Amino acid sequence: MLGWLKLFILFLSDFAKPRSVLEAEITALRQQVITLRQQAAKQITLRRSDRLLLAFLYRFFPEIRKAIHIVQPETLVGWHRMGLRAL
């Protein structure tokens, strides 16, 4: 129950963030998805272009560090299913 409350509070806090920060987070998350798709069966290693994009985003939006986590595709699917069950 506490996890859902935290998720709801974080969801509401997104409305207070500037649009540029949200767009930077979305860009970082899309880059993570692309990286995971390329290396689905292999160990995850970031290429130079991946590192440059993340460094660029961090330089201009330091708060994006909170949104960047490399996760396994199964974890992402689990989170999605958990969210759908809550509806």
For 23-76, what is each residue's pLDDT tens digit? 888 888 888 888 777 766 666 677 888 888 878 888 888 877 776 666 667 777
According to the model, what pLDDT value does residue 82 have? 77
Assess contact for 75 and 44: CB atoms under 8 A. Answer: no
* Token reading at 8: 């709801």
Tell me which of 18 and 5 has the higher pLDDT.
18
Is the predicted pLDDT of residue 87 greater than 70, yes or no?
Answer: no
CB distance 21 to 61 below 8 Å = yes
> What pLDDT was estimated at residue 70?
63
pLDDT at 27 (0 to 100):
85
Domain ranges of the chain: 18-86
50 and 31 Cβ atoms separated by less than 8 Å: yes
